[in-house]
Amino acid sequence: MRLPEEAELLRIFIGESDRHQGKPLYETIVLEARRRGMAGATVLRGIMGFGADSRMHTAKVLRLSEDLPVVIEIIDTPERIAEFLPDLDAMIQEGMITLERARVIAYRHSPTS
């Protein structure tokens, strides 16, 4: 797949314990992005954060949290991102979704042997 220089970066902020149809929500989102053939997706696990309810989520030893912040980043063309947004809206019960322009400098993969 070749990405144009101008792409979009979709960021999804959810909790680690968020689920969709019994599976972790972050996993469902990434697998769906892959099924659609999107350019790439990464899940980042935060060590501390809070959201709209201002409840603190932290990985501190004295306060173990099973609901750490998770950020999913997906990059692709604006059209493919736009097609994915309605499905994301249906999956995500609480969290935040942001979208920004991204300039793709390189998008490469190693040939399989």
* Residue-level pLDDT at 30: 98
pLDDT digits (tens, 9 = 90+) for 62-82: 555 567 899 999 999 999 999
Instruction: List the strands of the sheet with 69-76, edge to edge.
Output: 40-45, 69-76, 6-15, 96-103
* Residue-level pLDDT at 25: 98
pLDDT at 55 over 90: no
Instruction: Give the residue with greater pLDDT, 47 vs 26.
Output: 26
Q: What is the 3 state secondary structure string of the chain?
A: CCCCCEEEEEEEEEECCCEECCEEHHHHHHHHHHHCCCCEEEEEECCEEECCCCCEEECCCCCCCCCCEEEEEEEECHHHHHHHHHHHHHHCCCCEEEEEEEECCCCCCCCCC
Q: Phi, psi at residue 95, to the nearest 5°?
A: 145, -160
Place of tokens 């696990």: 45
pLDDT band at 61 (very low <50, low <70, confident <90, very high): low
Domains and CATH numbers, the chain: 6-103 (3.30.70.120)
* Residue-level pLDDT at 64: 55
pLDDT at 111 over 80: no
pLDDT at 12 over 60: yes
Rg of the chain over Cα atoms, rounded to whole angstroms, equals 15
